[in-house]
Amino acid sequence: MVCGSRPLGVRARATVRATIALWVALLGFAVRAAETAPAGVLILHSNQRPTPAQVVIDDQLRTVVTDGFKRPVQIFSEYLDDEWVSLQTYGAVEAGFLQQKYGGRNIRVAVTDSLPALRFAMQFRERVLAGVPVVFLAVARDRVDRASIPPDIVGVFEDHDPTPTLRLAQRLHPGTTRLVVIRGASELDRLWDHRLRAAVGRLGNGLEVEYLAGLPTADVLRRVGALSRGTVVFTPGYFVDGDAQVSTPRQTVERISQASTVPVYGAFDTLLGAGIVGGYMTRYEDQAREAGALVVRLLNGVTPAEIESSPVARVPMVDWRQLRRWRVDEGLLPAGTIVRSRDPTIWNQYWREISVAAVVLVLQAGLIAALLVERRSRRRTATALEGTQAQMSLAARAVGLSSWIWDTARDVARTTPLARVAPDPSPLQPIAFDRVVAAAHPADRDSLKRAVSMAQRTGEELDVEYRVVAPGGAVRWISARGRAEEREPNRLLGIALDITERKLAELRASEDRAALRQMGRVSMAGQLSAAIAHQLNQPLAAILGNAEAAQKILGHQDIDVKELRAICSDIVSENHRATEIMRRLRELYMHGDIKIEPIDLNQLILETLELLRTELLLRHVTPVTDLATVPAIEGGHVQLQQVLLNLVLNAADAMDGKKPAERTLTIRTESAATDVRLHVEDNGTGIAGEHLKNIFNPFWSTKAEGMGMGLAICQSIVASHHGTITAANNAHGGAAFCVTLPTAWRESSLT
């Protein structure tokens, strides 16, 4: 409907001109429609779906361009999906599609979010957006030949020179005399050689350097496990090791830093949290901000020739947990260092800010008291109040938080001006609570209202996290804390803090976890594939037999229609059986977020045993179930099934050494006061006493070919359902696992 209203407006104008020359107006119709459309900006992402980095890039670009360009602007995002399809072969089709979609949209600038997207734009630009300037970002400075970039393509480069990171390492670990540099064996990994040698030359302070280039991971881990004090490790991570084993930089860095006896430094902010201490990183929001500024300049008529592409300044970033691990003095950090992953409680994370806010609030409370005493000098007080407010704002802005007072009796809230947090542009004006709620994300409004009315009723502390949606569509996370004043219960005092960055880090971590779980399911599907092929052959054999019998009947003189009908109906039901097997298999390969739904645990058990039927038959294990009536629980079907599959297959493994007739596997459910329990018990080898405390640790395995991830994944899934998983040995030998799941929990926090 939005699109429809525009030509109507144009047509109205055309009608006025029709008194002069109707046909001229009609001919010019299409042209004018395009001219009067708002300026368009097209963002080309290379991935198939928004990753956290792309969410940041997209949000930041939209904010900067909308705020910076004073006239109406329409911003479009496209995901090219180069991970799945080669843009070499598929690019022309994609280009044709984009041309059709955006040809009439008055696109004035295109933005590419990565090197593949830039390459796509360079190759197909003439077909899609002839003459439209392109702004690029997230492109490493040394990965493109600058001479090959046409003059109307400009942008911001990433700088991958490791020199500042190496300097940071020397600064944080005084007495460092030795540097160990680790890189992988693929072509991408080799790019680092040049960067690192140049950087070491630049340092030039007698540092002894050892290169571990393209070694097998096992060798690397052994070497870093035996490093002595005074050494630091630098690694950008790698894709392929000396044994041609493929992994991701994050995985390799995780393993290296776990094994290392000395601090490890890295090259990307995505490696923060994987065990590196830190380094100088290019942040996506900085790149997007600078690219956005270029877009605004181009929209304002600056020609690309006047713009020079330049690298984005990097900022030092460190992982707080690693600082603690290596006992680094925080006083040594350069000014402006971003410290990630502080302890998650709000007090530990923001105690300085909260202390400042508390002092500010005490000052303000005192002022209000004085105000009540000195009613006569109201005007003077008002001036003082304004002054205090200004000071308070200054202090609050310095620490990135805002404070607020809310008079519930009159429904008037006041908040300090902090653009990031408060959605209201005129903060000194009182705002009604409804407007605060209206600014919140629709999904969070109820919980926000509930929390506030609870705090008001009980006098307990208010503690709520919610999202606000800025007019441009950007989402920020806010943590609000406060409490009712003792003397005036109608007045709530509190602070609000922007915690978007922390939330993004959490999101990234939860994506990693989801990927790991998916990997676990896929490896299980591989393990089960032989059995499932067998299972699938049953209905196929039945279908074939039935179909051949039917063919025979059709060759007879008098056809037995009744029998034919029975055969056909059997074929249909066998087909359903095959489909059902495929559906269960597909579930194991399923990607994506956890879908929370009510789950009947008993039903889940029966379905899982059906999936495992042949596998267990081949292993001569006959499961026994003892299922009590249990209430439904809330949870992810696929994830809980993964837990059960893991436990049952582990039990079957543990009983391999036993005679077939002696193998017993028991699956029980029971209902307790507020939770439901699932027991999986076997009479296999049991768990040796010294192993009991380790079995849920990642990479811990007693099996020769085990990855050691199965039970760690189980525990993470159960924990995300707010449950627990325990392991013990049976009195009569064998292991007993017990999963306890609560029947009710707060829905917002599943990760």
- The site for another protein (CB under 8 A) is made up of 530-531, 533-546, 548-549, 552-553, 567, 570, 573-574, 577, 614, 617-618, 620, 622
Residue closer to another protein by CB (options 235, 535) is 535
In the complex, minimum distance from the CB of residue 546 to another protein, in angstroms, rounded to a whole number: 4
In the complex, minimum distance from the CB of residue 545 to another protein, in angstroms, rounded to a whole number: 3
In the complex, minimum distance from the CB of residue 287 to another protein, in angstroms, rounded to a whole number: 54
Three-class SS of residue 155? strand
d(CA 87, CA 81): 8
430: phi then psi, degrees, rounded to nearest 5: -65, 145
In the complex, minimum distance from the CB of residue 238 to another protein, in angstroms, rounded to a whole number: 38
Rg (CA), the chain: 32
Residue closer to another protein by CB (options 288, 571) is 571
d(CA 193, CA 408): 64
Residue 273: how many CA atoms within 13 Å on its side-chain side?
17
Residue closer to another protein by CB (options 432, 541) is 541
Phi-psi region of 627 (alpha: psi -120 to 50; beta: other; left: phi over 0): beta
Candidates 388, 361, 363; CA nearest to 482 is 361
Contact by Cβ (8 Å): 118, 45: no
Residue closer to another protein by CB (options 93, 544) is 544
Buried b / exposed e along 222-259 (16+ C-beta atoms within 10 A): ebbeebeeebbbbbbbbbbbbeeeebebbbbbbbbbeb
d(CA 433, CA 424): 12
In the complex, minimum distance from the CB of residue 557 to another protein, in angstroms, rounded to a whole number: 14
Residue closer to another protein by CB (options 370, 541) is 541
DSSP codes joined into one string, 246-295:
B--HHHHHHHHHHH-SS-EE-S-GGGTTTT--EEEE--HHHHHHHHHHHH
DSSP codes joined into one string, 373-412:
HT-TTHHHHHHHHHHHHHHHHHHHHHHTEEEEEEETTTTE
Residue closer to another protein by CB (options 515, 572) is 572
In the complex, minimum distance from the CB of residue 625 to another protein, in angstroms, rounded to a whole number: 14
Candidates 313, 326, 178; CA nearest to 261 is 326
Residue closer to another protein by CB (options 332, 618) is 618
In the complex, minimum distance from the CB of residue 643 to another protein, in angstroms, rounded to a whole number: 25
In the complex, minimum distance from the CB of residue 182 to another protein, in angstroms, rounded to a whole number: 43
Contact by Cβ (8 Å): 681, 736: yes
Candidates 465, 436, 432; CA nearest to 451 is 465
Contact by Cβ (8 Å): 196, 183: yes
Residue 552 class from Cβ within 10 Å (0-12 exposed, 13-18 middle, 19+ buried)?
A: exposed
Residue closer to another protein by CB (options 494, 623) is 623
In the complex, minimum distance from the CB of residue 558 to another protein, in angstroms, rounded to a whole number: 15
- Compute CA distances 580 → 308, 573, 575, 610, 637, whole Å: 60, 11, 9, 10, 16
Contact by Cβ (8 Å): 267, 317: no
Residue 48: how many CA atoms within 13 Å on its side-chain side?
6
In the complex, minimum distance from the CB of residue 608 to another protein, in angstroms, rounded to a whole number: 17
In the complex, minimum distance from the CB of residue 651 to another protein, in angstroms, rounded to a whole number: 17
Contact by Cβ (8 Å): 80, 66: no
In the complex, minimum distance from the CB of residue 530 to another protein, in angstroms, rounded to a whole number: 6
In the complex, minimum distance from the CB of residue 260 to another protein, in angstroms, rounded to a whole number: 45
Contact by Cβ (8 Å): 193, 183: yes
d(CA 113, CA 587): 33
Residue closer to another protein by CB (options 115, 553) is 553
Residue closer to another protein by CB (options 493, 532) is 532
**C-alpha of 420 from chain center:** 22
Residue closer to another protein by CB (options 116, 539) is 539
Amino acid identity for residue 247 in this structure: S
Residue closer to another protein by CB (options 622, 625) is 622
In the complex, minimum distance from the CB of residue 628 to another protein, in angstroms, rounded to a whole number: 25
Residue closer to another protein by CB (options 111, 581) is 581
- Compute CA distances 259 → 117, 213, 245, whole Å: 37, 17, 18
Residue closer to another protein by CB (options 399, 564) is 564
Residue closer to another protein by CB (options 262, 531) is 531
Residue 746 class from Cβ within 10 Å (0-12 exposed, 13-18 middle, 19+ buried)?
A: exposed
Structure tokens at 607: 């379905």
Structure tokens at 633: 């629980």
Contact by Cβ (8 Å): 209, 179: yes
d(CA 19, CA 9): 17
Residue closer to another protein by CB (options 371, 536) is 536
In the complex, minimum distance from the CB of residue 661 to another protein, in angstroms, rounded to a whole number: 9
In the complex, minimum distance from the CB of residue 656 to another protein, in angstroms, rounded to a whole number: 17
